């Protein structure tokens, strides 16, 4: 087995070859990689079948479905790489330009990070997506995927290596960590001098581990305890539609709603409609109903499961919604300040003052007025792609696109100036 340290060293040694390359060279390599993924589909499907067989008794049906590849999904991966290729090159942008009175010319210029590390647990298509984004951003990448998908990931990375070699670039630009134990994740978190940016993509446990152990620069992603607050003045029909969408259109993702706050003045009118819309109506339509976990004030109006204190701090990722009644917009903002993970929070209101207070004072990556939290996404926000959704404030906040995967340097040209 190649050690994680060796893979990191090789990536660091390979990175300058890519950083020095032109936009055209990077795009040509991405095209070769997409072609190789398609050409080596049989190998990838064979490896994936082995992963599926090994995981058959260990994973739930929905997890098995995430793991599974088929020709259509591989075509989607190749198409994803081609879409990344079509995006503008984030490297070399001149972010600002100053000429000083003494003749010094100072250009702040976007440059690659160097080596980007990614720890992920999920689907094998993340392997090709993340590699394509990092390469387009001019950086080498070291991927540490989950154990269940290892054979699939290895076959995908083999195809990527062939594509890089077809394009005359070193295969070491994309490294796959062979050790899928906790040790390798720790090794990446502490690889000072080898990893310029580490992006953990996964659940709350991974994020906690990174906070605890990481010594390399990190961007934390993906934990979303997202709130929707229904103000007294809200259009209640719109509110029902937005809440159902935010909760049920894809409950397993980080921008799904987990907590609903309702202004006390409308609680008696609105909560029964909510219970019907998310409960009986969905059951009647053959859809999964949403379990409501109610604080004391909400439970005084409708039936539901009494909420424990933890329910307002839990990312359910399921058909479960915690519901509380609050006194007003200030109380909603205060609740969100205590419980939000800073991902996406929304107010539904017809009052401009409430909307302004909410957008100004809620300290989250995305703050919505009268829309579903489900829109927090790199594509929707105009970034063209997405490496993850940052819930921290440093460097990148919210969806991260190619620009967020670069850094910058100042290039200063003179003619002998001294200070």
Question: Could you tell me where the beta strands, DSSP code E, fall in 121-169?
Answer: 140-144
CA–CA separation, 405 and 399 (whole Å): 11
* Residue 55 CB coordination number (10 Å): 17
CB of 361 to its own copies, least distance (A): 6
Contact flag: residue 46 with its own copies (CB under 8 A): no
Number of residues counted as binding its own copies (CB under 8 A): 66
Residue among 54, 238, 317, 351 that touches its own copies (CB under 8 A): 238
Element (H, E) at 108: strand 105-112
Q: Does 252 bind its own copies (CB under 8 A)?
A: no
Closest CA to 174 of 190, 159, 194, 193: 159
In 3D, which of 5, 7, 14 has the Cα closest to residue 173? Answer: 14
How many beta carbons lie within 10 A of that of residue 265, not counting itself? Answer: 14
Please, which of residues 71-100 interact with its own copies by CB under 8 A? 96, 98, 100
User: How far is Cα 46 from Cα 158, in angstroms, rounded to an integer?
Assistant: 13
Instruction: Decide if residue 353 touches its own copies (CB under 8 A).
Output: no
Q: Is 236 in the site for its own copies (CB under 8 A)?
A: no
Q: Does 23 interact with its own copies (rule: CB under 8 A)?
A: no
Q: How many residues does the chain have?
A: 419
Q: Which is nearer to its own copies, 165 or 403 (CB)?
A: 403
382: contact with its own copies by CB under 8 A: yes
Among 58-66, 130-138, 322-330, 362-370, the segment contacting its own copies (CB under 8 A)? 362-370
| The binder of its own copies chosen from 49, 245, 318, 319 (CB under 8 A) | 245
Instruction: Kindly state whether residue 22 participates in binding its own copies, applying the rule CB under 8 A.
Output: no
Give the phi and the psi of residue 202 in degrees, each rounded to 5: 175, -160
Give the end-to-end CA distance of the chain in Å, rounded to a whole number: 54
Retrieve residue 271's tokens. 């909560």
Give the count of beta carbons closer than 10 Å to the beta carbon of residue 389: 28
Residue from 9, 19, 75, 236 in contact with its own copies (CB under 8 A) = 19
Q: Pick between residue 127 and residue 255 the one whose CB is nearest to its own copies.
A: 255
Residue number, 166 or 328, with CB nearest to its own copies: 328
Identify residues 182-201 at the interface with its own copies (CB under 8 A). 192, 196-197
Strands 398-400 and 388-390: antiparallel
d(CA 265, CA 307): 21
Determine the Cα angle at 130 with ends 128 and 135, to 5°: 95
Least CB distance from residue 35 to its own copies, whole Å? 29
**Using CB under 8 A, which of the segments 70-78, 159-167, 275-283, 407-415 binds its own copies?**
407-415
In the DSSP assignment, the letter for residue 315 is: -
Residue 155 engages its own copies in binding (rule: CB under 8 A):
no
- For residues 158-177, which are near its own copies according to CB under 8 A? none
- 242 lies in the site for its own copies, by CB under 8 A: yes
- DSSP β-ladder status, 257-263 and 320-326: parallel
The residues binding its own copies (CB under 8 A) are: 16, 19-20, 96, 98, 100, 104, 106, 108, 111, 113-114, 192, 196-197, 211-212, 215, 217, 219, 235, 238, 241-242, 245-246, 249, 355, 359-361, 363-372, 374-376, 380-382, 392-395, 397-398, 407-419
């Amino acid at each position: 087995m190649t050690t994680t340290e060796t893979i990191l060293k090789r990536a660091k040694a390979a990175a300058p070859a890519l950083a020095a390359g032109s936009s055209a060279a990077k795009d040509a390599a991405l095209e070769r990689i997409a072609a190789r993924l398609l050409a080596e589909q049989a190998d990838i499907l064979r490896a994936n079948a082995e992963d599926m067989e090994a995981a058959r008794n260990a994973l739930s049906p929905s997890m098995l479905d995430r793991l599974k590849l088929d020709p259509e999904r591989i075509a989607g991966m190749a198409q994803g790489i081609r879409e990344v290729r079509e995006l503008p090159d984030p490297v070399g942008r001149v972010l600002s330009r100053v000429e000083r009175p003494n003749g010094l010319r100072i250009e702040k210029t976007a440059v690659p990070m160097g080596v980007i590390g990614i720890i992920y647990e999920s689907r094998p298509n993340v392997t090709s997506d993340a590699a394509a984004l990092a390469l387009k951003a001019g950086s080498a990448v070291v991927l540490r995927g989950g154990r269940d998908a290892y054979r699939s990931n290895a076959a995908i990375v083999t195809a990527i290596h062939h594509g890089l070699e077809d394009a005359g670039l070193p295969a070491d630009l994309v490294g796959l960590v062979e050790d899928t134990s906790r040790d390798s994740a720790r090794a990446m978190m502490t690889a000072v001098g080898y990893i310029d940016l580490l992006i953990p993509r996964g659940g709350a446990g991974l994020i906690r581990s990174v906070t605890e152990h990481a010594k390399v620069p990190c961007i934390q992603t993906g934990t979303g305890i997202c709130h929707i607050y229904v103000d007294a003045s809200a259009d209640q029909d719109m509110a029902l539609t937005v809440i159902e969408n935010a909760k049920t259109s894809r409950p397993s993702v980080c921008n799904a709603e987990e907590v609903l706050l309702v202004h006390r003045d409308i609680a008696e009118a609105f909560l029964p409609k909510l219970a019907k819309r998310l409960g009986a109506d969905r059951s009647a339509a053959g859809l999964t109903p949403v379990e409501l976990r109610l604080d004391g004030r909400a439970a005084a109006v409708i039936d539901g499961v009494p909420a424990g204190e933890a329910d307002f701090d839990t990312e359910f990722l399921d058909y479960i919604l915690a519901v509380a009644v609050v006194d007003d917009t200030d109380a909603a903002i205060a609740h969100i300040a205590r419980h939000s993970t800073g991902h996406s929070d929304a107010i539904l209101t017809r009052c401009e003052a409430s909307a302004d207070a909410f957008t100004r004072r809620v300290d989250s990556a995305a703050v919505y007025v009268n829309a579903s939290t489900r829109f927090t996404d790199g594509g929707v926000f105009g970034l063209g792609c997405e490496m993850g959704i940052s819930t921290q404030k440093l460097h990148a906040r919210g969806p991260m696109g190619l620009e967020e995967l670069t850094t910058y340097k100042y290039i200063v040209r003179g003619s002998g100036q001294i200070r």
